[in-house]
Amino acid sequence: MTLAPAPSAPPTAPTSPPPAVEAVALRKDFGPIHAIDGIDMALPPGRIYGLLGPNGSGKTTLIRLLTGLASATSGNAKVLSVAMPSRVNLAHIGYMTQSDGIYPELSVWENLSFFAALYGQTDKADLHRSLELVELDSRAGTPAMQLSGGMRRRLSLACALAHHPAVIFLDEPTVGVDPALRVQFWDHFHRLAADGATLLVSSHVMDEADRCDELLFIRDGHVLAQGTPAELRKRADTDNLEAAFLSFATQSATPSAAGSLAASSKEVAR
């Protein structure tokens, strides 16, 4: 008597990794102002996300909520599946603020060494490579107060990336950076994403939008639209991302607010 072979188990469908960054009904009020007004997002890891919107649209407030540096009025935020704020989870997060978060009296090297040491990063060779990336290796001994504005931005970026974080929040990282170095920055951002890091980059400069894997258009604390640059152009029936932003903003605006959108879109494009 021949026994029939046991039926093989059905193939297991591959599971998607959990989102690197999440928000559920996230809200932040400042008195009567709804700076963040019920945002939901779930961003898979290993991609560059562009947070695009005019000044005052809520980009920095959203980043502060996601990093746990501000408390939400309601809703929840998670990074790497950990509810924020979480002091322990900050070891896996890099944050480059809109203003330069460095000590002007300390030298370039002292600033970098200090911030890296907070996360347990003491490998001097690795820190020197960080300075080479931002082209400040020759200015290691220079006090930060003697650097130009663009150089201070470069030092802030080096400090934010020194501990090799898994999730990186960059608030207008290329402001004041020359075009050649800006290209170098974005090349490095793409290498980080290819290695598995997740980047959320805020900007109001539309010519950087195409460098992102996915975009989130934000205005008045709302995410107007989310998708790849190509998808957003197609949905808005335009080849121009600035026009696409204006289209989505107009669709969501009340009639009384529609007249101000053209001025906002020009601000986004600057």
Q: Residue 255 above 70 pLDDT?
A: no
We report the CATH number of the domain holding residue 199 as 3.40.50.300
The whole-model pTM stands at: 0.86
By residue range, what is the domain housing residue 114? 21-269
Q: Does residue 78 fall inside a structural domain?
A: yes
Q: Does residue 11 fall inside a structural domain?
A: no
Q: Does residue 202 fall inside a structural domain?
A: yes
Q: Does residue 3 fall inside a structural domain?
A: no
Q: Residue 219 above 90 pLDDT?
A: yes
Exposed / middle / buried, residue 88 (Cβ in 10 Å: 0-12, 13-18, 19+) = exposed
Q: Residue 256 above 60 pLDDT?
A: no
How confident is the model over 127-169, as pLDDT tens digits? 999 999 889 999 999 999 999 988 998 999 999 999 999 999 9
For residue 225, name the pLDDT band (cuts at 50, 70, 90). Answer: very high
Share of the chain above pLDDT 70, in %: 88
Q: Does residue 213 fall inside a structural domain?
A: yes
Q: Does residue 16 fall inside a structural domain?
A: no
Q: Residue 13 above 70 pLDDT?
A: no
Arithmetic mean of pLDDT over the chain: 88
How confident is the model over 52-89, as pLDDT tens digits? 998 889 999 999 999 999 999 999 999 999 999 999 99
Q: Does residue 8 fall inside a structural domain?
A: no
Q: Does residue 162 fall inside a structural domain?
A: yes
In the chain, the number of structural domains is 1
